[in-house]
Amino acid sequence: MAPYFRIRRVVKTDRANAHERINAICGVNLDGSHWTLTHEDAVSRIEDGVCAFYMEGPRGQRYDVTVAMDVHAHRYLKTADRDQPDQLMFLPGCPHAVHTSYSLPDQPVVGAKRGGLVLR
């Protein structure tokens, strides 16, 4: 079973399309350091079974994050909540300035050890 990692914040765009609304997801490692994954990296890791993600709602509810596909075959992240699958959009924006680093091809995870995820 793939390890679960909590998404605490997101980097949002002003786009309306579901597959373009989130640029990156962010969280905190066990050592307190910050990690960031691009939307594309997160989708790939879920689809490949490398890891799984979840978020917590305001009352402590846990929402698993899954990959969905729109009518144009664009993949995007969504919560597995039937009533409101866009729960990720309610997470706060991420204030860290390191988000320019996530676009580097050899650094898909910021704040994690190279060669293996140390995310939680």
**pLDDT grade, residue 10 (50/70/90)?**
very high
CA-CA-CA-CA torsion sign (113, 116, 119, 120) = negative
Q: Name the average pLDDT for the chain.
A: 78
What percentage of the chain reaches a pLDDT higher than 70?
74
Given a contact cutoff of 8 angstroms between Cβ atoms, the answer to whether 87 and 117 are in contact is no
Q: What is the pLDDT of residues 95-115, one digit of tens each?
A: 865 544 443 233 334 333 333
In this structure, the strands spanning 34-38 and 52-56 are unpaired
Are the C-beta atoms of 80 and 64 separated by less than 8 Å? Answer: yes
pTM for the structure as a whole: 0.75
Task: Name the phi and psi angles at 78, rounded to 5.
Answer: -150, 160
